């Protein structure tokens, strides 16, 4: 493990876009303009923007956004019509048959619940509802209420029947929440749609979940900016990750939170304590699968630097950057030569490099 004490490197992903992008085709003289399409919608409790370049860019973006809406309709625990909500409504009563996609994502989430020792727990819904971060006015539940909710959180009580494709929660009051996986999964599916339409240069920004598809239209790697979640401690942009066909997913304590009596309460819970996790202020996972990176960003945030990065090293196909409450950056070693350090005051524009 390498620790770099270079000030605060807390991480929120910001896409650094180059305006007026053009691409120079192989073997061509001069530059050829590519059509650009961009669309933004609110879903899965966040703003989602898809930007694509290519002959069918507009058609591709519309289809990719529709695919993300379809995934949200299946897996959003806040939507009473979703499959996840039906699982929760029938907790302790009966198994619920679900689509292949929901079933496979539940399997993945349960697997990582086990691998992380419960730091990520797919059945965290009772704690999410109890605290209601962003929905209740600075509400801090008492210890008894937290303990009652925490006792209903246990991934081992999620029963998945492979043959019947059913999901069942053993105890009434339990609840599945795929909020730490569904956005990443939807981003993966949106990327697949863009590729089917022949798009080779695109960005999917799902509120902290970034898919950098191919390279920028000018042929250079995308530059994903790393922002400071405590801007009062320094500049807005602190580091940049050059990215080509990579997904970067960040979990941080600065997106949904409130401060009461000097304490910051945020929406990323440690299922083992029932309270907001306190071992990090942000965690970013870099890899090729956004659903897994989404889950891992939560797990690493909860586990903290030592256990969190140990988990990433076991998996081998991901890299991680984590910022501790002491404002230190801790990263897996393979990022040492890739992560670019910058010191810009404000703004998220192109660094010009």
Edge-to-edge strand ranges of the sheet holding 13-16: 13-16, 222-227, 237-243, 340-344
Degrees to nearest 5, angle at CA 193 with 192 and 199: 90
DSSP bridge pairs for 212: 203, 246
Q: Does the predicted TM-score (pTM) go above 0.85? A: yes
Query: Mind giving me the DSSP string for 244-278?
Result: SSEEEEEEETTSSEEEETTEEEES-EETTTTEE--
Angle at 69 between CA 65 and CA 71, to 5 degrees: 115
Cα–Cα distance list, 100 to 103, 105, 111, 166, 193 (Å): 5, 9, 16, 10, 18
DSSP letter (8 states) at residue 71: H
- Helix, strand, coil proportions of the chain in percent (round to 5)? 30, 30, 40
CA distances from 202 to 54, 57, 292, 311, 349 (A): 9, 9, 20, 30, 17
Three-class DSSP labels, 334-348: HHCCCCEEEEECCCC
**Start-to-end CA span in the chain (Å):** 28
**pLDDT for res 238:** 56
Handedness of CA 4, 6, 12, 14 (dihedral sign): negative
Q: What is the pLDDT of residue 342?
A: 63
pLDDT given at position 344: 40
Q: What is the pLDDT of residue 183?
A: 96
> Could you read off the pLDDT tens digit of each residue along the chain, which spans 353 residues?
444 333 333 334 444 433 233 333 332 223 556 799 999 999 998 999 999 999 999 999 999 999 999 999 999 999 999 999 999 999 999 999 999 999 999 999 999 999 999 999 999 999 999 999 988 989 999 999 999 999 999 999 999 999 999 999 999 999 999 999 999 999 999 999 999 999 999 999 998 899 999 999 999 999 998 666 676 666 676 578 899 999 999 999 988 999 999 999 999 999 999 999 999 998 999 999 999 999 999 999 999 999 999 999 999 899 998 888 887 888 888 877 788 866 443 333 333 33
């Amino acid at each position: 493990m390498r620790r770099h004490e270079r000030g605060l490197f807390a991480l929120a992903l910001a896409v650094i876009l180059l305006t007026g992008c053009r691409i120079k085709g192989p073997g061509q003289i001069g530059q050829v303009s590519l059509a650009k399409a961009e669309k933004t919608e609110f879903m899965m409790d966040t703003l989602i923007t898809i930007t694509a370049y290519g002959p069918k860019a507009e058609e591709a973006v519309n289809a990719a956004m529709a695919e993300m809406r379809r995934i949200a309709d299946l897996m959003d625990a806040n939507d009473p019509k979703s499959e996840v909500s039906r699982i929760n409504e029938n907790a302790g009563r009966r198994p619920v048959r679900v689509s292949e996609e929901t079933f496979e994502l539940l399997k993945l989430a349960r697997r990582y619940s086990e691998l992380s020792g419960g730091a990520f727990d797919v059945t965290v819904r009772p704690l999410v509802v109890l605290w209601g971060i962003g929905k209740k006015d600075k509400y801090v539940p008492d210890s008894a209420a937290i303990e009652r909710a925490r006792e209903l959180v246990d991934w081992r009580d999620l029963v998945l029947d492979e043959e019947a494709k059913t999901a069942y929660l053993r105890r009434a009051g339990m609840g599945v929440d795929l909020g730490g996986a569904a956005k990443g999964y939807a981003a993966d599916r949106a990327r697949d749609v863009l590729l089917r339409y022949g798009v080779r240069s695109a960005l999917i920004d799902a509120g902290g979940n970034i898919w950098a598809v191919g390279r920028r239209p000018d042929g250079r790697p995308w530059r994903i900016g790393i922002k400071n979640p405590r801007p009062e401690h320094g500049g807005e942009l602190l580091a940049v990750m050059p990215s080509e066909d990579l997904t970067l997913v960040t979990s941080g304590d600065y997106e949904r939170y409130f401060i009461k009596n000097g304490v910051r309460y945020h929406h990323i819970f440690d299922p083992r304590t029932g309270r907001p996790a306190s071992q990090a202020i942000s965690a970013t996972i870099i890899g090729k699968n956004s659903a897994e990176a989404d889950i891992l960003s939560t797990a690493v945030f909860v586990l903290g630097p030592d256990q969190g990065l140990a988990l990433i090293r076991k998996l081998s196909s991901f890299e991680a950057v984590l910022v501790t409450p002491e404002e230190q950056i801790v990263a897996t070693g393979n990022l040492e030569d890739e992560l670019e350090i910058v010191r810009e005051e404000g703004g998220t524009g192109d660094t010009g490099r």
